[in-house]
Structure 1
Amino acid sequence: MDLTAVTDFNLVARHGGFGAASRATTIAKATLSRRVRELEDSLGVRLIERGTRPLRLTEEGRALHARTEAPLGAISDALQDIQAGLQHPTGRLRISAPLLFASVSLGPLAAAFLAAFPGVLLDVTTDDGFVDLRDGEIDIVIRANPRPDDDLVGRCFLRNALVLVAAPCVQRPHDDSQPFPAVMRSGMVDSASWTIVDARDGVARQYHPRAVMRLSSPLSIRDAVLAGAGAAMVPLAIVAEDLLAGRLVEWGASSQPPVEVWVLHASRRLVNTKVSAFVNFICDYFAHSKA
């Protein structure tokens, strides 16, 4: 049975005629008449007494109208509520974010999101490891340079260049062969040299790191560099204020591709409205913050 035809029949019954229903809904009178006639043919009964004024329903028409108007109205209201939810999502949104992102950017981002979507409760856990979204425990993950995964979809919202920085008291190497004291991340592979595009003249030069310590957190590395322990390769975002204030000096930018930060969610055909709202918001937030 065509539910559209049942809906149109109820419109005609509610408004007391084809013409009145057409004026109230902008559906053509001929269309309403055709659909009601097709509904009658499919049911094998007459629903409306033709040629009577005012409009009169048959006994079958009154029964159909009484039993279907409320359920179809409830369905229509539900669809409208769901559509409205795209602009006004509510409920808990569970997010997994890496420690560095949570420490540097999450507080202001979360406050701005709350102001825009007060009905959503952000529930954020900090985790640098793998999170399986298929178990339903987490709605969204934020990760840097994530591995491709057919079960996940998302968007890159931030590209963060790697820069070689040091405190002003740390002497920059005079030539390509001179090693420099380097604060390196735990697990980072020793390299004979780093290719750095010099901040002064844009020329690519080779720098030879000599590890003086290894730390697991980029923020700890930054703090050690601020204390004069040596130079380090770190994401620009965590040292931007220190460079601007003169507490650190940029020797140059790495020739490596920038770090890409992605917001990811399960690759379902229909995405939860809270997830859609957050994905769009975080991308717009960082697009405007870079402008």
Structure 2
Amino acid sequence: MDLLALADFTLVARHEGFGRAARAAGRPKATLSRRVAELEAALDLRLFERGGRALKLTEEGRALYARTSRLLLEIEEATTAIAAGGEIPRGRLRVSAPLLFSQTAMGRIAADFALTYPEVQLEVTTEDRPVDMVEEGVDLVIRVNPDPDESLVGRAFLHDRLVVVSRPEMLDADQAGPVPAVVRTKAERSAWRLKTPNGPRVLDIDPVLSLSSMIMLRDAVLMGVGAGRLPLSLVGNEISKGTLVSWGNVDVPDIALWALYPSRRLLSARVSAFLETLRQAFPKGTPDELAAYVQR
């Protein structure tokens, strides 16, 4: 395959048009059109839908662009870094992060990164769904307790745990029956198993409110609606101030946040820099450290 033709194809795909690509690269539009046509002929595939003023990738074109654009960018960055005598983080960095972490911490992490590495264009998307990093062009994902995946490598940079908390008056009250509870999922609609200083405990609950967001759940617990299962990092400051009290740790595996990237891809300077930013933000990786970061 002609790598130069492939590079021209990715250039046109990135700029979504021959004219825009030609202006960005300072090259003749006719040359780009001819090179892409030659690539289509060599592959016996149509890579673009040409009609009217719009130029759109075909399904095959999208698949080819997803698999080759990042590799070509890494080659370009590697040659630029060698020519410059060192590898300076630059270019686009796409990160996918879970909702709660994004809402509580990612804004400041991203801002710190952007100020430290102004030549990197950071793009953070918030989603809890599994992400196909290669297909979607994502460089790094942050995930909670991810399943083992041989195609990904990385490390856990933060740990947390679930605790049951409530207003102090609820813990002090005599509970003749199930405890009023604010819940997230149907799995919580029976009883909570806790680990307390006095040993294991099963807490019968009466779900009085169901909310889909941990932050909404915390706010409802603070209002005194009921007890709730929440990450310690999200309520650690309230426990320290006495606004909320802990009934015990939930008897489930601790929460671990992992930063992951494709194992078959060379670790770029951008990804290395972002991992270092996470390490500096959370050097110990403890729930208390995250709680303090959120409170800042």
For Structure 1 versus Structure 2, the TM-score category normalised by the shorter chain is 0.5 to 0.7
Give yes or no for the alignment of 1:235 onto 2:231.
Answer: yes
Which amino acid is 2:131 matched to?
A: V
Partner of 1:3: none
Cα RMSD after superposing both structures: 2.5
Partner of 2:133: 133
User: TM-score under structure 2 normalisation?
Assistant: 0.64
User: Within 2, Cα distance between the matches of 1:81 and 1:288?
Assistant: 37
Partner of 1:281: 277
Identical-residue share of aligned pairs (%): 39
User: Within 1, Cα distance between the matches of 2:248 and 2:84?
Assistant: 50
Q: Does the CA-based 8 Å contact 1:89-1:117 persist in structure 2? A: yes
1:61-109 per-position Cα deviation (integer Å, ceiling 9, x unaligned): xxxxxxxxxxxxxxx9856457621xx3012211111110001111222
1:162-220 per-position Cα deviation (integer Å, ceiling 9, x unaligned): 11101223245757x842011111343434x323233xx45332211221121111111
Task: Assess, with a 3 A threshold, how the Cα gap between structure 1 residues 167 and 82 changes in structure 2: closer, same or farther.
Answer: farther
- Other structure's SS at 1:170 match: helix
User: TM-score under structure 1 normalisation?
Assistant: 0.65
Partner of 1:10: none
Which amino acid is 1:122 matched to?
A: L
User: Within 1, Cα distance between the matches of 2:79 and 2:137?
Assistant: 30
- Other structure's SS at 1:211 match: strand
User: Within 2, Cα distance between the matches of 1:81 and 1:188?
Assistant: 57
Task: Assess, with a 3 A threshold, how the Cα gap between structure 1 residues 289 and 190 changes in structure 2: closer, same or farther.
Answer: closer
Task: Assess, with a 3 A threshold, how the Cα gap between structure 1 residues 81 and 254 changes in structure 2: closer, same or farther.
Answer: farther
Partner of 1:143: 143
Number of positions where the alignment pairs a residue of Structure 1 with one of Structure 2: 210
Partner of 1:195: 193
Partner of 2:183: 184
Task: Assess, with a 3 A threshold, how the Cα gap between structure 1 residues 255 and 172 changes in structure 2: closer, same or farther.
Answer: farther
For residue 218 of structure 1, the aligned residue among 214, 218, 233 is 214
User: Within 1, Cα distance between the matches of 2:80 and 2:119?
Assistant: 18
Q: Does the CA-based 8 Å contact 2:171-2:247 persist in structure 1? A: no
- Which ranges in structure 1 are unaligned for 5 or more consecutive residues? 1-75
Q: Does the CA-based 8 Å contact 1:172-1:180 persist in structure 2? A: no
Partner of 1:107: 107
Which amino acid is 2:275 matched to?
A: V
Task: Assess, with a 3 A threshold, how the Cα gap between structure 1 residues 248 and 159 changes in structure 2: closer, same or farther.
Answer: same
Larger Rg: 1
- Other structure's SS at 1:287 match: coil
Give yes or no for the alignment of 1:258 onto 2:257.
Answer: no
Partner of 1:162: 162
Which amino acid is 1:152 matched to?
A: L
Cα deviation for residue 126 of structure 1 reads: 1.0
Q: Which consecutive aligned stretches of 4+ in structure 1 deviate over 3 angstroms post-superposition?
A: 76-83, 171-175, 288-291
- Other structure's SS at 1:208 match: strand
Task: Assess, with a 3 A threshold, how the Cα gap between structure 1 residues 205 and 118 changes in structure 2: closer, same or farther.
Answer: same
Which amino acid is 1:180 matched to?
A: V
Partner of 1:208: 204
Which amino acid is 1:132 matched to?
A: D
Q: Does the CA-based 8 Å contact 2:94-2:123 persist in structure 1? A: yes
User: Within 1, Cα distance between the matches of 2:234 and 2:97?
Assistant: 16
Which amino acid is 1:232 matched to?
A: G
For residue 86 of structure 2, the aligned residue among 84, 87, 111 is 84
Partner of 1:62: none
- Which ranges in structure 2 are unaligned for 5 or more consecutive residues? 1-77, 290-296
User: Within 2, Cα distance between the matches of 1:79 and 1:121?
Assistant: 17
Which amino acid is 1:103 matched to?
A: Q
Q: Does the CA-based 8 Å contact 1:145-1:260 persist in structure 2? A: yes
